[in-house]
Amino acid sequence: MNLCIRNAILGGAVVTALLASSPVAFAAGTSEQRRACMGDAIRFCAAEIPNVSRITSCMRTNFSKLSAACKEVMVKS
């Protein structure tokens, strides 16, 4: 699969997962949230893509391993 297409699919899946995680305060998939969490989501949860509920669960499970920037945007109200 073309790398650009794969990255676009991964990015869309990650944003969808972040938006679907209602206990985590995401008003919208902002560019700040994507910048802060995309790498963590791919690093820890790539095997779960494209299953949104599994990506969401994986991000929650790996919260302690996430970068400080990702944690910050995940807990913002």
- For the record, the structure tokens of 18 come out as 């972040």
Q: What is the pTM of this model?
A: 0.59
Each residue's pLDDT tens digit, 23-73: 443 333 578 877 888 899 899 989 987 777 787 788 889 999 999 998 998
Residue-wise over 12-34: b if at least 16 C-beta within 10 A, else e?
ebbbbbbbebeebebeebeeebb
Task: Cite the beta strand spans of the chain per DSSP E.
Answer: none
Each residue's pLDDT tens digit, 53-65: 787 788 889 999 9
- For the record, the structure tokens of 71 come out as 């944690």
